[in-house]
Structure 1
């Protein structure tokens, strides 16, 4: 029979080991299953969403990030992205760019949501949270289809031109538009230009989002 003191020591060690086990499992208990939808907007936007996924994974969460459909990978290559030329500052170019850009996003969305096998696989994962960038509006449709209730909207650019979608006031007299070259320190003329620019940004945003309806 072991001495009483040794029994107490063993009991104390067992309690300490149990405490360490519980503490080490806390990060597992508090981790979430997260789906990150990264729309093929540009390298910088995809890098932005990828960095968010990396940070969450490093924090111990189970993170899945979507992959661009094979049918569109070649079209996203630098050789086929010939938008940038000497006429990039013209209105006609800007309209052409927005139209081509939006059409590509809609095609991506159609391909993603029409893949029933992938949709079923994602639905069976039971993700806790979905993260998408506002400009890549297809992410919201994806999360709705696979039953993700908690959604985080990320933005790699300023939020002022998208505030109306969240019932927030947009104040172009003091907040520069994402298409504007000004800061929040503007004179009367710059505020006027910023106001017009903000309205143009609203029209462009509405044009893009209507394509997804």
Structure 2
């Protein structure tokens, strides 16, 4: 869309769940680049985590508040992340092996 002539403008909808800062920032940056390129961008933002702030604000935003069920699951979700993180950190032999591999790049998208 960015390579098209500057006289052509698209109407674009971005679905950007407010879930984690990295996810929100990534899609927010894409939305802003498209706005800067002259496109009409609207972001639908379902709120999953109320503590995550909007990354950018150049697009038109439509917010969808988190349901009660979503708010209740947030606690369980955080507990799952913490439990899994501890399990990984407890794998000292694996962590040492990975460290000794001397990887140049690690790419993670959660």
TM-score (norm 1): 0.26
Whose relative contact order is higher, 1 or 2, with alpha carbons under 8 Å and at least 6 apart? 2
| Higher strand fraction (1 or 2) | 2
The structure carrying a bigger helix percent of its residues is: 1
Q: Which has the larger radius of gyration?
A: 1
